[in-house]
Structure formats: structure tokens, C-alpha cells
Amino acid sequence: MVTAGQVAGTISRYAIMRIFLQSYGREIYGSRPVGDFMNKEPLLIDINTDIEEASRYVHAHIDNPITEDFVIITGENQYYGMGMVLSLLELLEKRAEIRNRALQTANHRLKSSQAHLIQSEKMASLGQMVAGVAHEINTPLGYVQSNVELAASLQEHIEQLTQSNQALVAALLADEPNDETITQAISVNAASINETVDQGMIEDLRTLVADSLHGLDQIGELVGNLKNFARIDHIKMSEVDLNDCIDSALNIGRNIIKQKAQVIKDYQDGTVIECVSSQINQVLLNILTNAAQAIDNWGKIKVKTRVRNDCVDIHILDNGRGMPEAVRKKIFDPFFTTKKVGEGTGLGLSISYQIIQQHKGVINVRSVEGKGTEFVIRLPKTQSSQSTEEPI
């Protein structure tokens, strides 16, 4: 309803239909002015109003969204046109669909960036420890090389013994055996055997081979741990024993940890869970190396695993410097670090927190300044189960 170009009110077609379709409606109401039936306080929306703001206004004031419309005005209550609530809803739905697609794209990019960030932090951690890992590999490699050199020197005596045996056999099997030749061959062979036995060459060789194999096993274990820790392609869930994950992290960080602390293990059986092992290894390595770095001289790091219903708890406790409450509250914040420049990225614990959350787990920290820190990680055994709400 417009008077002098300004909106006076609205009346819906449904209101008019109710008058004309009811018995004697035309006779009773037909002669009355339409202003008697109009809504004198219609919904007025300026033409320049944003769609979302218009929808919020309509939602807050409309009584009958199916039958009621709103008026579009310009300037001082000047009528411009009518707007349908259903059309407004369609526009909002289209805009929501566009935003949803944009959010999905952004989420995909965020996950991709997060994966690269986790990998970057992982390689940064490895970079900080590469010298120590190289030392851990060089130690068994050094004595393997030394053992092989000693075995090569023993090989000469074994070859001499073999030659004397061959000479004795040849003398005994000659077409015309000569007693003097046989006696001399026996004498040389006996002397060679006595020298080998007296010097313990066979036992030495057996020990050298066993030590060398042990050293090669150590090198293989370190290389395998490095491979499992560094790889970015192994992101599928699999069943892994958390006790093995802890041992793997301890091996990778051995050079840092062994100089600062005695590691005390208290493992419980039944700690197999469903997880991405390389990511859990990264979390454990971060916490274990942080524990070692928090010890000034020499201390202890206790690692304990416990099964709690459908979850497994990992406790990592050190008797290092500890943290004040203000620091403890910030340790999971990105880029927050108390280390010197160049010693840390400030992302290690932040990424560890994200990894544990992605595994539907919980990570908690308790610390007393001057006494030490304890990290507790709770992980569900399967990703279909939820972490228990019991306090950790």
C-alpha cells in the first residue's frame, strides 16, 4: 500500500483470498477500504542493505515467513519494490553453498599446509640431531671396521693352517708314501694347529664376527628408525606397539639423552594402538629430547606406559629445571620457546599437541619449578573409540 510514493503498509494475497473465499465475505468486507486490513508496520528494508543483514532483520521480525513478504524502499520510506522471503532464502542458500565450497578448499589447503609444517618440524628436529645420530652410527661402524681388519690378520694364520693340512693330506695320499715327508708334514701341521689353539684364534674370530654382526644390527636399527621417523608418505593408520615407538624415539635421540640422563623404563604389556607411527614417534622424540635438555647436569628420565580401559597412557617424567606456571600455560602455543635463538623453532610441542588431538588423544603436563616436569599422553587403542574422560 503506497500513498504519495511512501509505504503505508502491506496486505498479502492470502489475506485478500481469505476475505473473498469465506461465506458472504464480499458482502461483509468488500465495501471497506483495503487500509482496514493492511499491516501498518510492514518489514521495510533499504535497497542498499546487504543480503545477510536483510535476512537477519527479516528473521528477527517476521511472523509468517511463508505468507508474508517485505518491502524494499529507497531514501525516506520511498517505495521501490517487493521482496519475497523465499527468494531471500534461496539467495542465502546459494551464498552458503559458495562459502561452503570455499571453506572446503581452504580446509584442504590448510591440511596440506599442516602436513608440510609437521614434516618441516620433523626434519628440523632431525637436523638438530644429525651430528649425534652420525656419531651413534660411527661408533658401531668403527668397531666393525676394526674387527674386520683383525679378522683379516687372523685369516693369514687360518690360510697357513689350511696349507699345512693340505700338505699332510698330499703326503699321506702319495702313490709312494715317504715316511720322512709324512713326518715333516705332521710336524708342520701340528705346530700350525698348536699356534692357532694357543693364541685362541678360532675363538677370537668367532667373537669378532659376533661383535661385528651386533654392530651392524645397531646401524640397521638406527637407519630404520631414521627412515620411519623422516618419511612423509607413511600416513596411514596401522596397529603399533607404543613401547616400540618409545624405544625408537630413544634410539634416535640417544646421543642427546645419554649425555644428560639415565633412562628408566617401566613398560606394561598390551600397549598396541591404532595410529600413524611416524607421527607418534615425532611427538615422543620432541618430549624426550626436551626432557633431556631441561636437565642441567645429570638426572633421570622415567618413561612409563599403562593401559587404562580402551586407552593407553604414556608418562614421561624428568627431574630437571621444571617450569613456572606462566611458561607451562604457553608451551603448546605456536612459536613459543624458552630456548636460545637457533636452538628451537617453537613448533615442536604445538605440532605434538595437534598430532595427539588428530589421534583423538589428550596430552597434559604437570611441572614444578626446580623439581621437574611430567608429560602424560593418553591415546585410544582404536580410532573408533573415544578417549576416556578420566583425569590424567
CA distances from 373 to 65, 143, 159, 242, 316 (A): 60, 38, 61, 21, 8
Contacts of 152 (CB under 8 A, 6+ apart): none
Query: What is the pLDDT at residue 263?
Result: 94
Residues (pLDDT < 70) of the chain are: 63-68, 86, 89, 110-136, 196-200, 225-235, 334-348, 385-392
Per-residue pLDDT tens digits for 315-347: 999 999 988 888 888 887 765 666 554 445 456
Q: State the cell numbers at 340.
A: 636460545
CA distance 158 to 142: 24
pTM exceeding 0.75: no
CA distance 262 to 265: 10
For the beta carbon of residue 334, count every other beta carbon within 10 angstroms: 13
CA distances from 130 to 217, 231, 255, 278, 295 (A): 19, 15, 10, 17, 21
CB 263 within 8 A of CB 303: yes
Percentage of residues in the chain having pLDDT higher than 90: 16
CA distance 11 to 80: 16
Query: What is the pLDDT at residue 269?
Result: 93
Residue 345 Ramachandran class (φ > 0 left, ψ -120 to 50 alpha, else beta): alpha
CA distance 66 to 84: 9
Q: End-to-end CA distance of the chain, in Å?
A: 68
